[in-house]
Amino acid sequence: MESRRRAAVLFLAPVALVLAAVGGWPLAKTVWFGFTDADLANLNSYAFIGFENYYTVIDGVAVGLLADPEWWRAVANTVVFTVASVALETVLGLAVALVLNQPFPGRGLVRAAVLVPWAIPTIVSARLWAWMLHDQFGMVNDLLLAAGVLSQPVAWLAEPHLAMAAVVLVDVWKTTPFMALLLLAALQMLPRECYEAARVDGASAMRRFFTLTLPLIRPALVVAVVFRCLDALKVFDVIYVLTANNPRTMSMSIYARQALVEFQEVGYGSAASTLLFLVVALFITAYLMLNRGRRGVGAAT
């Protein structure tokens, strides 16, 4: 038994080493850089400046991340994006899952078709939609003009109050399949007997859905929503391609990368990255705390 444990350590060592090198060390480095004035041009010489990247007062003026309205706007944008896209894809994903849960000819093919938007690289889906939403030559404007919904073309990606909606639309298109397939897996594990009993009792389809299906798939629904929220909080690709550095749609990741790479302010950008990490960590902690009473976490196997 003792030799097996020693073997276990050996077999775990490679993963531990790799994750420490590509995850633990870089994260520690980012947190450290956040307390320095490092810049990209010369990463080897920098000074420790404490919390100045976060907040400090110079000549009576508050500066730093926490005093930057652009940063708070990025935080607000990220929250709006997360709530809107996760809510929409949950509702749509559930609808798709309910349809796919019914047996019908060709169901396997439809299920494969649903996976297509998920498999397409985010960059590609963003460019596909940018083309379809093009203000002059896009098919969305063409269709809506022909149908009489619009009287003149709309610049979906440039119009200040529409840009975020367009970003959410593209993200929902891309991520609904993930939601749908997780929920479908949950639906397929439901016990049939309950449904037969409910049908005998004369419960309507609507009633069966709200009193039986929804509570039964709740655990899977919560896990799927949490997973998607974690991804949405880190959103980068879709916004970078669709609206670039437009402050109306700038997310926390976009803000941090802009500081790190475009402005070359590694210290400041690392501080922003650290804050994003804290937001994600806080979200996970909150979820685990809320979940603790209900079931053990981590005992998956």
Partner 1 sequence: MRALAGRAAFAAAVAAILLWSLFPFHYALVTAFKTGSELFTVTYWPAHWHPDNFQAAFRDLPFGRNIANSAGVAALVVAASLALGVSAAYALGRVRFRGRGAVLAVVLAFSMFPQVAVLSGMFELIRALGIYNNPLGLALSYLLLTTPFTVWVLTTFMAALPAELEEAAAVDGAGPWRTLVDILVPPLAPAMVATGLLAFIVAWNEFLFALTFTLTDDQRTVPVAIALISGASAHELPWGVIMAASVTVTLPLIALVLVFQRRIVAGLTAGAVKG
Ranges within 230-249 binding partner 1 (CB under 8 A): 230, 233-234, 236-237, 240-241
Is residue 284 a contact point for partner 1 (CB under 8 A)?
yes
Is residue 15 a contact point for partner 1 (CB under 8 A)?
yes
Query: Which CB sits closer to partner 1, 7 or 91?
Result: 7
Residues 60-89 that bind partner 1 (CB under 8 A): none
SS3 58: strand
Residue type, 86: V
Query: Which CB sits closer to partner 1, 62 or 83?
Result: 83
Q: Which of 86, 35, 44, 85 is nearest to 65 (CA)?
A: 35
Among the residue ranges 5-13, 61-69, 196-204, 207-215, the one whose residues contact partner 1 (CB under 8 A):
5-13
> In the structure encoding, which two tokens stand for residue 272, read together?
């922003």
Residue 142 CB burial class (10 angstroms; 0-12, 13-18, ≥19): middle
- Binder among 9, 47, 200, 206 for partner 1 (CB under 8 A): 9
Kindly state the number of chain residues that form the binding site for partner 1, as judged by CB under 8 A: 96
Is residue 301 a contact point for partner 1 (CB under 8 A)?
yes
Among the residue ranges 81-89, 137-145, 159-167, 193-201, the one whose residues contact partner 1 (CB under 8 A):
137-145
Q: In angstroms, what CA-CA distances link 226 with 67, 103, 293?
A: 30, 29, 17
Nearest-5° angle of CA 184, CA 189, CA 190?
100
Among the residue ranges 50-58, 62-70, 194-202, 271-279, the one whose residues contact partner 1 (CB under 8 A):
271-279
- In whole angstroms, give the CA distance from residue 53 to residue 301: 43
- Binder among 41, 47, 103, 104 for partner 1 (CB under 8 A): 104
Site string for partner 1, 188-227 (x = CB under 8 A): --------------------------------x--xx--x
- In whole angstroms, give the CA distance from residue 63 to residue 68: 7
- Binder among 62, 76, 91, 116 for partner 1 (CB under 8 A): 116
> In the structure encoding, which two tokens stand for residue 300, read together?
């998956």
Among the residue ranges 62-70, 97-105, 196-204, 207-215, the one whose residues contact partner 1 (CB under 8 A):
97-105
Question: How far out from the chain centre does Cα 197 lie?
Answer: 39
Min separation Cβ 25 and partner 1, Å? 6
Taking the CA atoms of 201, 206, 209 and 212 in sequence, report the sign of the dihedral they define: negative
Element (H, E) at 298: none
Residue type, 135: D
Is residue 27 a contact point for partner 1 (CB under 8 A)?
yes
Min separation Cβ 184 and partner 1, Å? 8
Residues 148-167 that bind partner 1 (CB under 8 A): none
Nearest-5° angle of CA 80, CA 86, CA 91?
130
